[in-house]
Amino acid sequence: MTDLHVVDATAEHVDDIVTVIHHAFSARRVLDPPSTALSENATTVAAAVAEHGGLLVLIDGAPVGAMLFEQTGDVLNLRRVSVDPRSQARGVASAMVGCAEEVAVRRGLSRVNLIARVELPDTVEFWRRRGYSVVDQQAQNLIYAKALPIELTVPTAEDMQAIAEELAGQLRAGDLLVLSGDLGAGKTTFTQGLGAGLKVRGAVTSPTFVISRVHPSLSGGPALVHVDAYRLGGFAELDDLDLDASLEDAVTVVEWGHGIAESLAQDRIEIVITRGDDDTDETRALRITAVGSRWAASGVRVSVLEKN
């Protein structure tokens, strides 16, 4: 059994990181202009680790993968993502990237960025499969980004509505939100906050018995389409609602949408609301995940409550 560990880089790992970077980049075909990775040395890597951190991957105690971090504002940039050629196809890169995203979430950052060369199709495909989107191109460099989940502890229903109202200010026609959570977790409460932020007409209530409701805008903005998928048997029944006709012109919210509504759009916001063990406790755990190129460059911002 393979013993794979991803560890936070420290000063004692510098030489191993340099070795992995050199092995990885020297095995790649020569590019024009060439990569500058082979110029990394103990001094440059030590400085990067000390200032921003990084990761080292070990298999059975031997260094096989590495990356350096560079934090700018609320973005974590991944640099020198390297896997020793002898350890490719062993899940090293995926494990390393997953841990890097966890580091960014712990730091309270909103996005992860990196640069990949357009001449390396396997590398480009790897980042696409990891959910990264191209947000810019500078000559041969593709700038990839991915929005990170936001995790919040929400004390009251009023706080939940306030978060949703702030989020509404970042939405536009065509946006899709998929809400999940147990019965009574606060999905409709969240949607009420969206309605307030979008300034739509009509009281936002659970549409369980009518499946969906349309709330027109009172301010010239997009309408709110509120769907309850609880009684639907799958995507085919959701598709029968002919939401495609309204998706481009409205903000669409699908409660109980997990596993059903994701196919409606590649770009979406997935929201999970979790109740506490005590039924008398109003506190909720809220997780907001922005998916797709629509959100990759900006992420989602929430300032109402402090991030966990």
Specify the pLDDT at position 241. 47
Angle value at C-alpha 189, between 188 and 190, nearest 5 degrees: 90
Specify the pLDDT at position 34. 86
- For the record, the structure tokens of 292 come out as 């797709």
- For the record, the structure tokens of 48 come out as 């990067």
- 57 neighbors 66 (Cβ within 8 angstroms): yes
C-alpha closest to that of 17 among 78, 77, 97, 84: 84
Spell out the domains of the chain, with CATH numbers in brackets: 4-147 (3.40.630.30), 150-298 (3.40.50.300)
Specify the pLDDT at position 292. 92
- For the record, the structure tokens of 231 come out as 């009684």
C-alpha closest to that of 254 among 286, 217, 208: 208
Residue 61 falls in which region: left (phi positive, over 0), alpha (psi -120 to 50) or beta: left
Note down pLDDT in tens along the chain; length 308 residues: 568 999 999 999 999 999 999 999 999 888 888 889 999 999 999 999 999 999 999 999 999 999 999 999 999 999 999 999 999 888 999 999 999 999 999 998 999 999 999 999 999 999 999 999 999 999 999 999 999 999 999 999 999 999 999 999 999 999 999 999 888 889 999 999 999 999 999 888 875 555 678 899 999 999 998 888 765 544 444 444 445 556 788 999 988 667 666 667 789 999 999 987 777 788 999 999 999 999 998 889 898 775 54
